[in-house]
Amino acid sequence: MDGYEIVLTADETLLAEYRNIPLGPFLSCIPSDPILSRAVHHLISPKSHANEEFLSLAPLGLRKFESALARDLRKDKVAVVSPKFIKKFIGEKTKVVGIHSMDPIGLGPVSTMFTMGGKYTPYTKYMTEKLLMQLPEDRNFKVVIGGPGSWQFEYKTEVAKQWGIDHIVIGECDRKAGEVMEQIIDGASTVIKIRDCPPAEEIPPNLGATMFSMAEVMRGCGRGCKFCQPNLRKARYIPHEIVRKDIEKKC
């Protein structure tokens, strides 16, 4: 199989519905005990979209990046797929495998709490490593990590190297998705930081439905709380027309 030029995915903890319990996803932060963690996930999340080859539902951030790539490149060059079947979509044409992350190494506050300060391995880390380890070792494509959790690999560069990650993208790619991909293919630096924020009008509508039927109505925050990550970004309100299109896509 020739494969897709750009293959996008996320680890399985980000593709489970957790019975639509509001705080259910936090259970992905528990220690990855061979029995306990799997039993909990089987109980709390019997339905996983990782069982689909092409993802009918995907994390919101992954959908936004997919849309930006489709705009800058071509829609048929990009595939959003399950981590379980990712090898089926990797071929001679594949240039980039992009992975959306939330808490990939388990450095988030909930994971740190559940694992007693990192004494144990959180399920999020276990599943992220499982995904990366199944990628072909002999490859002609770049492995790129992005999403809200990509900063963890800048902090733990030895883990990124151990897991075979070529590039770490930090920041909002809505305006520069195609440009970032070209930089990666041409041999950019390991850590790519995008410091500018796109205007709300340049944030494209989703091409597909999102996990938990999420629709982005605002990005950033203007409250000024020093402890909160969204406050580090400029507050922008998504135009009503884009929000309406996103709502239609997720139904």
- Asked if the structure places residue 244 within a domain, the reply is no
Domain assignment present for 246: no
Residue 153 inside a domain? The answer is yes
250 within domain boundaries? no
In a domain, 93, yes or no: yes
Find residue 6's DSSP bridge partners: 78, 96
Query: Per residue in 106-130, pLDDT tens?
Result: 999 999 999 999 899 999 999 999 9
pLDDT, tens digit, for every residue of 6-35?
999 999 999 998 888 888 899 889 898 777
SS3 152: helix
pTM of the predicted protein model: 0.92
Answer whether residue 234 is part of any domain.
no
Helix (H) or strand (E) holding 220: none
Range in 40-44, 139-143, 243-247 the model is least confident about = 40-44
The Cα–Cα gap between 212 and 59 comes to 8
Residue 204 maps to a domain: yes
Q: Does any domain span residue 214?
A: no
Buried b (16+ CB within 10 A) or exposed e, 24-60: ebbbbbbbbeeeebeeebeebbeebbbeeeebebbbb
The alpha carbon dihedral of 119, 150, 235, 13 has a sign of negative
* Count of domains observed in the chain: 1
The whole domain housing 13 covers: 6-209
Query: Token pair of 22, please?
Result: 């509001």
